[in-house]
Amino acid sequence: MAKRIEDLKVIGNKRLNNDFFVLELSGNDKIPDFKPGQFAQVRVDGSPETFLRRPISIHDVDYERNTFKLLIQIAGKGTGALSKLRNGDFLNLIYPLGNSFGLPVENERVLLVGGGCGVAPLLFLGKYLRSNGYIPDILLGFRNSEQIIEFEEYLKIGNVFLTTEDGSKGEKGYVTNHSILLTGRYKRIYCCGPDSMMRAIAGYCKKNNIACEVSLENLMACGIGVCLCCIIDTIKGNLCTCIDGPVFNINELKW
């Protein structure tokens, strides 16, 4: 799929809580056929401290309206500046970038696991799975009930299970402690979240012989396989998260 560099119009900026917001962007031409797991390199102008582009997952796609969404966590000056964008502003993107999650094998029961900003690619993945005939379950982990975002959106896709670290909603603890993992019903897990969460889920999947893909969030400069900064150590040597990933089968990783 050809990569594009474009100025796209912001047509929505919805604040979800203190940390998260969703930008909706309108395509100039017909938006590309995105694959779940892909991302965009977003340019942030206006400050010497936001020099590089920010890699942001494609969160949701609406082909009828020719729009797509980015779920962004305010982590620093770059994402802070993006949170202040208004309808009608333009944002420069290089997209679509990266590989994608693979489809399940027929009749496999699948689970999506996400936490924090890692929930971003899972909404689009869930919708993509639904449109391909799968009804995934979804397990989301947050620090507390106030951090829970877009719960209703995920409910439209499948059963949603929650954990919070303080027990204020769902089961108390981390996603890896949730009781649904004890059922043994899942044959495939897709995971995106903090490094510690993905490693824990990968460990669980390896132990129980469950197919698993994770989406990594390594620091990157270019996003197109040139700078070789976002590397991950794999059984094939160093691979670039931006072009060989961001989605990796856990069997490829040296976790």
Partner 1 sequence: MVNLGFSIGDLHFKNPVLTASGTFGYGSEFDDFLDVSRLGGIVVKGTTIEPREGNLYPRMAETASGMLNAVGLQNKGIDYFEKNIYPRISGYNTNIIVNINGSYIDDYVALAERINRLEKIPAIELNISCPNVKMGGMAFGTNLDSAREVTRAVRAVYAKKLIVKLSPNVTNVVDFAKVVEEEGADSISLINTLLGMLVDVEKMRPALSTITGGLSGPAIKPIALRMVWQVAKTVRIPVIGIGGIMTTSDALEFFLAGASAVQIGTASFIDPQAPVKILEGIENYLIKKGFSDIKEIIGYINRTT
> Would you tell me which residues interact with partner 1 (CB under 8 A)?
2-5, 43, 48-49, 51-53, 94, 218-222, 224-233, 237-238
| Least distance in angstroms from the C-beta of 217 to partner 1 | 12
Judged by beta carbon, residue 103 or residue 224, the one nearer partner 1 is: 224
3-state secondary structure the chain: CCCEEEEEEEEEEEECCCCEEEEEEECCCCCCCCCCCCEEEECCCCCCCCCCCEEEEEEEEECCCCEEEEEEECCCHHHHHHHCCCCCCEEEEEEEECCCCCCCCCCCCEEEEEEHHHHHHHHHHHHHHHHCCCCCEEEEEECCHHHCCCHHHHHCCCCEEEEECCCCCCEECCHHHCHHHHCCCCCEEEEECCHHHHHHHHHHHHHCCCEEEEECCCCCCCCCCCCCCCEEEECCEEEECCCCCCEEEHHHECC
| Least distance in angstroms from the C-beta of 92 to partner 1 | 8
| Least distance in angstroms from the C-beta of 207 to partner 1 | 26
| Least distance in angstroms from the C-beta of 44 to partner 1 | 10
Judged by beta carbon, residue 34 or residue 186, the one nearer partner 1 is: 34
Judged by beta carbon, residue 48 or residue 88, the one nearer partner 1 is: 48
Judged by beta carbon, residue 157 or residue 247, the one nearer partner 1 is: 247
